[in-house]
Amino acid sequence: MLFVLVNVCYLCVTELLSVLLSDNDCSMSLLLSLSLPLSSSILFSHSLFLSLSLFLSPLSFLSPSLPISLSLSLSVCPSLFLCRAFKINELKTEVTNRLAMLEKRVELEGMKVVEIEKCRSDIKKLREEMASRNNSHFLDDNKKLTPRRDVPSYPKYHLSQETVEALRQPTFDVWQWEPNEMLSCLEHMYHDLDLVKDFNMNPITLKRWLLCIHDNYRMNPFHNFRHCFCVTQMMYSMICLCSLQETFTQVDILILMTAAVCHDLDHPGYNNMYQINARTELAVRYNDISPLENHHCAVAFQIFSQPDCNIFSTFDPEAFKQIRQGIITLILATDMARHGEILDSFKHKVDSFDFTDEEHVTCLKMVLIKCCDISNEVRPMEVAEPWADCLLEEYFMQSDREKAEGLPVAPFMDREKVTKPTAQIGFIKFVLIPMFETVMKLFPQIEDVMVQPLRESRDRYEELKQIDDAMNEVQKKKSENLTMGKKK
């Protein structure tokens, strides 16, 4: 142990202490003997305290709980020099120990950082795994496809006459029903259209099939069982409104209704563009050709392959083939990438439409399912508007994921680029109205109940856009004025 006695003037004390205190590895005891005039002792004590406080302040930052209290008493009495020196020595030991403790804590904190980083990367891996599982499909998982044996009789879900009548209208409020009520409504439609009677369907199989359908829709913001219900209910109201049973065969009606029920089965909530760009299992399986629609079809027929859910069990093989082909054609027609092609083909036929021409009828059925699939804006504003929010939510979910995965993002899905009015105006003006107006040539009765609400919806969103634009203009001017004010 080295014993050093140093005489210093008070100006050098702080520097010495810093050196001494920072040298915490050295097992050196230092005795400071301060020869100071009594008159400066108070000043010195203050200065020393400040120096120590400053030196220790980073420590207190690192460990706010560390109590740092320094008390120095100074005296000119030589007998107290030693005592004071020992106090400083004690202080040095204490600080050295605390530094060692802090270093340990820093080391531990460092380990925690490493742990946190590891947790982060584990979470990322788990997320990716979950995402990829979301994209893997029923073919590996038969759980949901197993039909339920305990078909409920729904005494609680008996439909009132009022509901039965409202169900035939495009104005039906699709939001006020829980899943079992929607299932009862779908069941009612099959009975009401005489499909159960005409095709000798087992009514219990119909119930079981519908339950299985419900179980195979995912809880997406938009592409969920309620959307399936909406599309089917719109199909039912179009069949009623356009008296399609007078011009179509019952097989056509069965194809239209069943394709509507099955058209988005097991939709993962990310569209074909995502599937193709992210090279998902679905895109690989279907070679980038309508991966989702092919998948919805495949799931539908996986369900029919279960005897307990096969509503077509009474059909002979030829009839089943026809039904199967019809349903596949309609579900594949719901891919919006084919919108122009299908509508053009229909436009060529509509002026000389022939209900006895199979090609004409198939084309009309394709257009009808397309109309129903995107028919939310036909509904009253209070029913339609929540759907626009649901769709945007699903789009934003996709674009956020595309950004995170470095994939291309469609502007209409980008939360930074799209607003509800702009998205709706374009869609109503350039997709919905032209399609419904073409169908109107064949069925003029849809003008008042379907086309007119679309025009009103377009006008309402245009007004909303004007308000949005005006608000943005005001906001822009405000921020410009603010910048000008700052510059001044």
- Where on the chain is the footprint of Zn ion (CB under 5 A)? 264, 373
Smallest distance from the beta carbon of 204 to Zn ion, in angstroms?
28
Residues with Cβ within 8 Å of residue 85, at least 6 apart in sequence: 30, 31, 32, 33
Contact predicate 213/227, CB 8 Å = no
Smallest distance from the beta carbon of 239 to Zn ion, in angstroms?
18
Smallest distance from the beta carbon of 231 to Zn ion, in angstroms?
6
Q: Is 224 annotated as a binding residue?
A: yes
- Closer to Zn ion by CB, 269 or 453: give it: 269
- Closer to Zn ion by CB, 283 or 333: give it: 333
Smallest distance from the beta carbon of 352 to Zn ion, in angstroms?
30
Smallest distance from the beta carbon of 377 to Zn ion, in angstroms?
14
- Which one-letter amino acid corresponds to residue 24? N
Return contacts of 413-422, CB within 8 angstroms, 24+ apart.
418/392, 419/465, 419/468, 420/388, 420/389, 420/392, 420/461, 420/464, 421/461, 421/462, 421/464, 421/465, 421/468, 422/465
Smallest distance from the beta carbon of 374 to Zn ion, in angstroms?
8
Closest CA to 261 of 299, 290, 291: 299
Q: Is 120 annotated as a binding residue?
A: no
Smallest distance from the beta carbon of 473 to Zn ion, in angstroms?
37
- Closer to Zn ion by CB, 147 or 269: give it: 269
User: What's CA 479's distance to the chain center, in Å?
Assistant: 32
SS3 state at 32: strand
Dihedral sign, Cα of residue 182, residue 183, residue 187, residue 193: positive
Within 10 A of 412 (CB to CB), how many other CB atoms are there? 14
- Closer to Zn ion by CB, 373 or 385: give it: 373
Q: Is 263 annotated as a binding residue?
A: yes
Smallest distance from the beta carbon of 373 to Zn ion, in angstroms?
4
- Closer to Zn ion by CB, 34 or 213: give it: 213
- Closer to Zn ion by CB, 296 or 460: give it: 296
Residues with Cβ within 8 Å of residue 407, at least 6 apart in sequence: 274, 277, 278, 401
CA distances from 376 to 146, 273, 370, 390 (A): 32, 22, 12, 11
SS3 state at 29: strand
Tokens standing for 31? 């005795």
Q: Beta strands of 228-376 (E only): which ranges?
A: none
- Closer to Zn ion by CB, 264 or 266: give it: 264
Q: Is 225 annotated as a binding residue?
A: yes
Q: Is 226 annotated as a binding residue?
A: yes
Within 10 A of 218 (CB to CB), how many other CB atoms are there? 16
- Closer to Zn ion by CB, 215 or 373: give it: 373
Closest CA to 313 of 444, 202, 413: 202
- Cβ-in-10-Å burial (0-12, 13-18, 19+) of 406 comes to exposed
Within 10 A of 46 (CB to CB), how many other CB atoms are there? 11
Contact predicate 271/221, CB 8 Å = no
Q: Would residue 348 show up in a list of annotated catalytic residues for this protein?
A: no
Of 214, 223, 267, 295, the active-site residue reads 223
Q: 245: which DSSP letter?
A: H
Q: Is 389 annotated as a binding residue?
A: no
Residues at the annotated binding site for Zn(2+)? 227, 263-264, 373
Residues with catalytic annotation?
223
Residues at the annotated binding site for AMP? 223-227, 264, 373, 424
